[in-house]
Amino acid sequence: MKFTRTEIPDVIVCEPKVFGDHRGYFMESFKADTLAEFLGYTINFCQDNESSSTKGVLRGLHYQINGFEQTKLVRVIQGSVIDVAVDIRKGSPTFGKHVAVELSAENKKQLLVPKGFAHGFIVLSDTAIFSYKVDAPYSFENERGLAFDDASLGIDWQLNPDEFVLSEKDTQNPTLEKAELLDYNTNYYE
C-alpha cells in the first residue's frame, strides 16, 4: 500500500498494490498494521458501510460530534466519484480548506478522512457503489452537516448544479460560519 499525504497532511490518499492477470486482479484494500505504521497510531475500525447512488447524487458534507467523531477510509467499488474532506477543526492551520480526490473502481484509490473533517462525495458515473470503514458508530443525535454549496469553501463538484441530486436534509446544512465545529487541539487518538 502506498500512502500519500495531501495538501492537508492529515488527509491521506491510499493506493493499494494491484496484481492483475488474465483472470482479473487481487489487492489488499486494508491492512491495519501497515496503516498504523504509516500513521504512528492505530485506528480501530468498527463498521463497514456501503451505498449505491446514481449520477449527480451528492451526499454530504457530514460529520459527527460529542465523542462520536469518525475517521473514514473510503473507496469506490463501481463507478467514480469526487470525494471531498473539509477541515472543520477551529484553530487548525488548514481550517476551512478542503481536499477533493477522484476515487474510482478503475484507479482503486482510497481516501483516509480523519476525525475533525466533514466528508461528502458526488457521483460522476452513471452509478457508483461507495464503500467505507468507520471507527465510531453512527449517532443520529450527534450527526451534523455542512452546506455543500458554501461559497467560502470553494468546492468544485465538477458537475453542473442542475445535475445535483440531494436529500432534503443535505439542502438544510449550515455554512462553515454557522456550523457546530470541532477543536483542532483535541487528540482523538489517545
Q: What is the predicted pLDDT for the residue at 188?
A: 79
Q: Furthest-apart CA pair in the chain: how many Å? A: 53
CATH of residue 41's domain is: 2.60.120.10
Q: Return the residue matching grid coordinates 450527534.
A: 142
For residue 117, being part of any structural domain is answered with: yes
Q: What is the distance between the alpha carbons of residues 65 and 67, in angstroms, rounded to a whole number? A: 6
Q: What is the predicted pLDDT for the residue at 107?
A: 97
pTM: 0.95
Q: What is the distance between the alpha carbons of residues 15 and 119, in angstroms, rounded to a whole number? A: 19
pLDDT (tens place) for every residue of the chain, 190 residues total = 999 999 999 999 999 999 999 999 998 999 999 999 999 999 999 999 999 999 999 999 999 999 999 999 999 999 999 999 999 999 999 999 999 999 999 999 999 999 999 999 999 999 999 999 999 999 999 999 999 999 999 999 999 999 999 999 999 999 999 999 999 988 877 6
For residue 189, being part of any structural domain is answered with: no
Q: What is the predicted pLDDT for the residue at 120?
A: 98
Q: Which domain holds residue 112?
A: 2-183
For residue 190, being part of any structural domain is answered with: no
Of the candidates 63, 132, 188, 189, the residue annotated as catalytic is 132
Say how many domains are in the chain: 1
Of the candidates 62, 63, 98, 119, the residue annotated as catalytic is 62
For residue 188, being part of any structural domain is answered with: no
Contacts of 65 (CB under 8 A, 6+ apart): 142, 144, 180, 182
For residue 41, being part of any structural domain is answered with: yes
For residue 154, being part of any structural domain is answered with: yes
The answer to whether residue 62 is catalytic is yes
| Side-chain half-sphere exposure of 176, counting CA atoms within 13 A | 19
